[in-house]
Structure 1
Amino acid sequence: MPMPHLCPSSNATPVSTPRRDALKHLASASLGTTMAWCAPGLSRAAQASPSVLTVRRPTLAVAMWDYSWLTRRAGTQAEYSDFDAVLDELVLRGYNCLRIDAFPHLIATDDMGRMQSEFNMRPQPSGFPWGNSASTTINPRRDLPIFLSKCATRGIRVGLSTWMTNDTSDRALRIQSPAQLARIWSETLDFIGHHGLLDMVEWVDLGNEFPSVGFMPAIVDFINRKLSNKIGQLHGYFLPYDQAQASAISAYIYMAINELKKRFPRLPLCVSLLGNGPTDSFKYHDLSPMDCIETHIWLNQNQAFALFSGLDVLLLESFGKRRPDACNFILERAVQAAYYRQKDSLLSWLAKAMDSWVALGNQLKVPVYTTEAWAATCFYELPALDPAGANWRWIRDIAQTATAMASARGWSGICTANYCQPHFPSFYKDPAWHRQITSRIKAP
C-alpha cells in the first residue's frame, strides 16, 4: 500500500535521516502486519472478558500536565497563570489525579551543592505542542509547594515525573548516573515532605519514557558507554531493544530506584515506559524494582496504522507544524478515515496490548497506570483543525472505548487522552464530555 501523497509543495522540508530510517523500518515491518490490522470484525477481542490485574488501587481519572503547568504562565502562553482557576476547571471535568514534572534537577542543589531559585528555561523545539515555545523564567522551589497545596485542598492526587526540561545553565545535562538521578529525587521528595505534601503523591516515576534520548540525553549517554550497539532516538518505539541494551537499562533502573527506596520505602517508585504498544519492547528488561507500571499506549504505536494513515509523518516531522495548513488538513482527514475504516481491528490490537500489560503487572504484582494514551501523541491543535472541534471526533471516540477497556482490566490510573490541558482548548473545552468519561473511570 503506498503512502498517501499529502503535499505537492516544492517548499517541503527535506527529509531528515532519522525520519528516512524510521519510515524505511516502518514500511518493512508493516508489510507483514497489514493484513492483521485490516481484518474486519475483530471487535469481539475488545469486548471479551479480559484478564484482570490482581493488584490495584482506587481508580483515578488522570490528566497529564507535564512541565507546561509551570512553563506556560506568562506572555502569549499563560494558560496556567492562575493555579486556582485551572485546577477548578480540572475538578469540574472530573479529574482527580495529575501527572506533572516536579523539576527535581532544579529543585535539588547542583553538583556543587548550590541551591538556586530562578531558572531561564530554553524553548521547546519548533512545532512541539507541550511546554514553552519562547524562553521563560520559572521558580520551581516557590511554585511547586503552592501548586501541590492547591491540588491537596481539591482532593487531587499527584503522580510526579520529570522530562528533564533544560535551562540555560544546562543543569539537566549534568545528571547522568543512577546515583545522581536518585540524589536529585531524594532532595526533591525531602523538599515536598518538608512542606507536608508527600502523602498526596500517588507515585513517582524517575524519568519520562525512560530512557528517552529527547528528554534525557545525558542519561542515555551514560547508559551507552558500555554498549557497542548504542541506544538511539528510535529505540523502544520504532526499534526493539536488544538484550545488552535492556540489561544496561535494567541495571540503571535497579540502582536508581533501590537507592531511593532506602529513604522512601513506602513511596511507589518506577520509570514511565514507552514501547510499541504491548510489552514487546521490554521482553529483555528486568523491571522487578518498580512498585508500579506507568505505561503509554497509543494507536499510532500500531506501526501499520501509523504509517499508512500518515500519523508517523506528523510525529517525525515535528508534529506537523512545518507543513502548510492545507496539507495538515488532508492528513487529518486521512487519519480519521483510516481510524473509522479499521476501528474493529484497531480495538482488537489495543485489547491485546492491554492484556500484555495485565500479564506484566500480575507478574510483578504491581498496579498499572496510564497517563498518556489511546489515540495518538501527534494529533493536536494543528492550524488546520476545524475550530468547532470536529476533527477531535476520532480521539474522543477511542477514548470512550479505551478507558472502559482499561477499567475492566483493573487499571489504577486512567487518562482520557494526552490533551486534557488548558492549552488544547478545542479538546478541553467540553466539561460535560470529560465528566461523562471520568465518572465512568472512577466508578467502583
Structure 2
Amino acid sequence: MSAERYLGTPAVDIPADGTPTGAVPAHLPGRLAICLWDFSWYTRAGAGEPYADLDGAMAETVDRGYNAIRICAAPLLVAGGLGLDALARDLTVEGLGSAPGGGYYGQRTRWYDAPGGYRIDVRSRLFELLEAARRHGVVVILASWEYQQSPAFAADDRWFRAIDAIPLGERFAVLAAAFDRLLTDIAAEGLAQTIAFTELHNEVDFSILPTVQEGGEEAIAWLRERHPEQLITASYGKPPHLAMHGLSSSLGVAQFHVYSYGVLDALQRRIDIRSEGTAGFPNEQLRALLQDGAPSVAEYGRPAAWKLEATVVTDQMIYGYDWIDADAWDAWLYDHYGEHREVMLREIESRVVAVAEWARWRGVPAVVGEGWVGYTPRNGSFEEGPVGRALAEHGIRVALDHGVWGVVTCSNAAPHHPMWRDADWQRRMTRLILGGV
C-alpha cells in the first residue's frame, strides 16, 4: 500500500471554513470590523482630547471603515445600585495623578496617558455615545473593565472601594444585575438594536474576578433570560488554547483575545518591566533603554496606592513605559524579531483557529475583540510598523477564513492611539473584514 501522505504531515487537518461559526440576530451586521474604544471614551474626553467630541470620534471611526466599537460601559458605576449614582453623574477624571517634576503618571504609557482635569456625566455620555452610534450605523459591544482598571482614573477612590467591597464570589451576579438595569434602560430609549452583544466583563482571566465557573455561568444565564434578544458572554485575555474543552458552555459569543507576544515577551522578561517589588529595579538592561535624563524610581515616585490596587498595571510598568526611549525599544524588537517570527505567525494562526473551531463546536459566533502583538509603550511603533501590520493582517485573514464574526484590526487602532493616523491601512483592513476587497 502506497503512502497517502508525507512523514510529518497531519493525519487530520482542519480545513478553512469561512461559513459563520454561529448565528447572530438578523438585525446585526454579518461581519463586525471592531474598533477598541475601551474606557478611553470617558477617560480621554477632556478639552482637545480624542473623545471630547463623541460624534466627531464616531465619524472618524466610520470613515476608517469600522462598523462596531467595543467599550467599557462602566455598568457598576452607572447602573450598579451601589450608591454611586451621584458620582456617575459627576465624575472627576484625574488619570493616575500628577508626577513630580511636572507631567503625570502614565504620560507615555499606552491607555494610561490620561491627563484628566475634567468632570463628566458618564451615564448621560454613555447614552450620547449610543445615539451617535445609531446615527452613524455602528453597533456597540458592551463590556466592563471595572475590575481591571477603570476606577483608577477617578480623582478619588469611592468607585473602586464600592466595587472592591463586593465579595469575590458575588461579583458576577452584581455585574449581571447592573447590566440588566442598563440594558433595560437602553431598550426604553429605543437603542437595544444598537447593541451587538454584552460581556459581563473584559478578560475575566486577567481581572479581579473568580473563574466563570464560579458564579459567572449562572449570571450569564440569568441575564440572557432577562434579555433573550441579546447575546450575552464574557471575554478572555488568554483563552486556554490547548484545553478549550475546559471553557464554559454558557458563553453566548466566543469573544477571545489573540496576542502573540513573542519578541515583545523576550524584551519584557529581559528588562523585568511587568513585575512589582523587584529588588534593584530598574536592572542594567532596562537602564540601557531609558531616555537620557530619566529620573530614578525614587525621584519619580508612584501613583497613589489605591490607584495601583485598582489596576492590574504595576508601578514598574508605569515607570518603565513613561521613561523608555521608544526608538531604542523598537530597535531591540526589530533586531530580534527574526528569532521569533515563525513562532509568532504560527501562534496567531493556531490560536485563531482554536477559537473559531471551539465556537463552531458550540454553535456560537466567534469574535477576536483584541490582538495582535501586545502591550507596548505609547510611543513605541513596532506594532504600528510593517512587522506589526503584517502580523495583524495574517490574523485577520485567518479569522475570516475560519468564519469569525467580528475581528479587531489592531488593539492600537483607535482614536486615542498614534496608529489612528494610519487611516489608509485601517480602511484596507476594514474593507477586507467586511468583504469589500
Point out the more displaced range, 139-148 or 313-322: 313-322
Structure 1 counterpart of 2:313 = none
Mapping 1:178-327, distance limit 5 Å: 178-213=172-207, 217=208, 220=209, 223=210, 249-275=212-238, 279-280=241-242, 283-285=245-247, 287-300=248-261, 302=262, 305-310=263-268, 313=271, 315-316=274-275, 317-318=316-317, 321-322=320-321, 324-326=323-325
Match of 2:353 among 352, 355, 359: 355
The answer on whether the counterparts of 2:46 and 2:116 sit within 8 Å (CA) in structure 1 is: no
Query: Quick one: structure 1 residues 112 and 344, their matched pair in 2 at CA, closer, same or farther if it must change by over 3 Å?
Result: closer
Aligned to 2:122: 140
2:413 to 415, 420, 439: 420
**d(CA) in 1 for partners of 2:329, 2:123:** 42
Change (3 A) 1:322 1:109: closer
Q: How far apart, CA to CA, are the structure 2 residues paired with 1:100 and 1:113?
A: 20
CA pair 293-336 structure 1, distance change in 2 beyond 3 A: same
1:138–1:311: structure 2 CA closer, same or farther, 3 Å change rule? farther
Aligned-partner SS, 1:434: helix
Cα RMSD, aligned residues only: 3.0
Deviation of 1:262 after TM superposition, in Å, equals 2.2
Is 1:439 the counterpart of 2:431? The answer is: yes
- What amino acid maps onto 2:185 in structure 1? F
In the alignment, is residue 85 of structure 1 matched against residue 85 of structure 2?
no
Query: Which residue of structure 1 aligns with residue 140 of structure 2?
Result: 158
TM-score by length of 1: 0.72
CA-CA distance at 1:142 after TM superposition: 1.1
Residues 175/262 of structure 1: CA separation in 2 closer, same or farther (3 Å cut): farther
| Matched-pair contact (CA < 8 Å) for 2:32–2:405 | yes
For residue 110 of structure 2, what is the aligned residue in structure 1?
A: 129
Q: Distance in 2 between matches of 1:48 and 1:201?
A: 33
For residues 249-280 of structure 1, what are the alpha-carbon distances to aligned partners after superposition, in whole Å with 9 as ceiling and x for unaligned? 313111211121221012101111112x6523
Task: Give me the whole-angstrom Cα distance separating, in 2, the residues matched to 1:194 and 1:56.
Answer: 26
Whether the aligned pair in 2 keeps the contact of 1:278 and 1:353 (CA below 8 Å) is no
| Amino acid aligned to 1:118 | D
Amino acid at match of 1:438: T
Indicate the residue corresponding to 1:97 in structure 2: 68
- Counterpart among 380, 393, 398 of residue 400 in structure 1: 393
* Structure 2 residues without counterparts, runs of 5 or longer: 1-7, 25-29, 98-104, 276-315
Give the conservation status (yes or no) of the 8 Å contact 2:110–2:376. Answer: no
Using a 3 Å threshold, how does the CA distance of structure 1 residues 359 and 279 change in structure 2: closer, same or farther? same
Residue matched to 1:50: 16
Distance in 1 of aligned mates of 2:226 and 2:68: 24
Measured against aligned partners, the alpha-carbon deviations of 1:8-54 in whole angstroms (never above 9, x if no partner) come to xxxxxxxxxxxxxxxxxxxxxxxxxxxxxxxxxx9x9xx99435553
**Structure 1 unaligned regions, length at least 5:** 1-41, 224-247
Which residue of the partner structure matches residue 368 of structure 1? 366
2:81 paired residue number? 110
8 Å Cα contact 2:244/2:358 also seen in 1: no
- Given that 1:71 and 1:138 are in contact with CA atoms closer than 8 Å, whether structure 2 keeps it comes out as no
Note the C-alpha offset of 1:98: 0.2
Structure 2 counterpart of 1:173: 164
The answer to whether the 8 Å contact 2:373/2:383 transfers is: no
Q: Deviations over 1:95-117 (max 9, x none)?
A: 11000111111221533596652
Partner of 2:293: none
Change (3 A) 1:340 1:49: farther
Shift of 1:334: 2.0
Please report the TM-score for the alignment, with normalisation by the length of structure 2. 0.73
**Deviation for aligned residue 1:124:** 4.2
Amino acid across the alignment from 2:376: F
Task: Check 1:332–1:158 CA distance in 2 against 1; reply closer, same or farther (3 A cut).
Answer: same
Aligned pair in 2 of structure 1 residues 56, 262: CA closer, same or farther (>3 Å)?
closer
Deviation at 1:179, TM superposition (A): 2.5
CA distance in 1, matches of 2:65, 2:50: 19
CA contact (8 A) 1:278 1:352 kept: no
Identity of aligned residues (%): 21
The one-letter code sitting in structure 2 at the alignment partner of 1:368 is: A
1:26-37 aligned at under 5 Å gives the runs none
Alignment deviations for residues 210-261 of structure 1 (CA, whole Å, 9 cap, x no partner): 1433xxx3xx3xx4xxxxxxxxxxxxxxxxxxxxxxxx53131112111212
Read off the aligned partner of 2:366 and give its amino acid letter.
V
Q: Relative to structure 1, is the Cα distance of residues 349 and 278 closer, same or farther in structure 2, using a 3 angstrom cutoff?
A: farther
What SS does the corresponding residue of 2:226 show, helix, strand or coil? Answer: coil
| Letter of the structure 1 residue corresponding to residue 202 of structure 2 | N
